[in-house]
């Protein structure tokens, strides 16, 4: 499988996740050439995305959507070789953050330390716990309702250390691709190797489910771990938001 396919798979998995979690909450919309998901009382996914390159002619439609759905984040995939991201930078958008899309060929399992336990979220109490600790790792909230409406669609995990919830993990499979999302460890439990252990569990689970590749989008905080585990860079995602 070449990088072009891996790039497509990465974007497919991520955008399918946004669509999947929002649909049961009636929060997914399509307005060609754009799609967007915005869940009430949640900071995620709240994305407006496109699959083909954009031009200045798309701006009125973008502004119209954002006027009715304030706070949407627009991910720009650095794959078009056109510098069309400058359209955002010249028209009142600012960079919220940048991520690196990465992929790993799945061929062997990792040895686990077995000092963490992983519990799939399948009830309201665990959904609330997951939703409460998630923003301690990230700067936004995922509502418990997002989890409750998606038990069958997405695998959300609570990560425990000595029976205390200390982290989160989200797995979302599309065909033979496992998307690894939402890997977080609460601040007071960082620098203990737990994030790497969560990643190893995720990769092993993907192998158990007969996936061929694991895909993710890395922040600067986690990229070193993913690189050490063998993930390869694919492209950059720049997230824009209207000022």
Burial 68-85 (b: 16+ CB within 10 A, else e): eeeebbbbbbebeeeeeb
pLDDT tens per residue across span 167-208 = 999 999 999 999 999 999 999 999 999 999 999 999 999 999
Residue 33, preceding peptide bond in cis (omega within 30° of 0)? yes
Q: Which pairing describes strands 117-120 and 155-161: parallel, antiparallel, or unpaired?
A: antiparallel
pLDDT tens per residue across span 91-121 = 999 999 999 999 999 999 999 998 999 999 9
How far, in Å, CA of 199 to CA of 78, rounded?
25
Kindly state the average pLDDT of the residues 120-145: 97
| Tokens 């069309």 -> residue | 84
pLDDT at 1 over 60: no
> Is the entire prediction scored with pTM above 0.85?
yes
Residue in 172, 200, 169 with CA at minimum distance from that of residue 183 = 169
| Tokens 């399509």 -> residue | 30
Residue 231, C-beta contacts closer than 8 angstroms, at least 6 positions apart: 102, 103, 104, 214, 216, 218
């Amino acid at each position: 499988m070449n990088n072009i396919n891996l790039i497509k798979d990465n974007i497919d998995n991520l955008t399918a996740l946004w669509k999947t979690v929002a649909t049961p909450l009636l929060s997914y919309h399509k307005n060609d050439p754009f799609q967007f998901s915005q869940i009430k009382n949640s900071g995620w996914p709240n994305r407006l995305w496109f699959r083909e390159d954009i031009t200045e002619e798309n701006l009125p439609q973008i502004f119209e959507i954002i006027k009715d759905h304030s706070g949407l984040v627009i991910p720009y995939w650095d794959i078009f070789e056109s510098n069309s991201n400058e359209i955002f930078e010249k028209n009142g958008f600012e960079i919220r953050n940048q991520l690196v899309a990465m992929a790993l060929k799945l061929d062997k399992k990792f040895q686990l330390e077995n000092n963490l336990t992983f519990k799939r979220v399948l009830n309201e109490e665990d959904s609330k716990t997951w939703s409460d600790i998630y923003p301690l790792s990230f700067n936004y909230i995922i509502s418990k309702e997002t989890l409750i409406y998606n038990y069958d669609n997405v695998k959300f995990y609570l990560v425990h250390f000595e029976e205390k919830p200390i982290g989160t993990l989200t797995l979302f499979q599309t065909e033979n691709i496992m998307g690894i999302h939402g890997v977080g460890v609460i601040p007071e439990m960082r620098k203990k190797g737990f994030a790497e252990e969560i990643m190893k569990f995720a990769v092993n689970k993907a192998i158990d489910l007969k996936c061929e590749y694991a895909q993710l989008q890395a922040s600067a905080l986690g990229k070193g771990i993913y690189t050490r585990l063998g993930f390869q860079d694919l492209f950059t995602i720049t997230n824009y938001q209207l000022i």
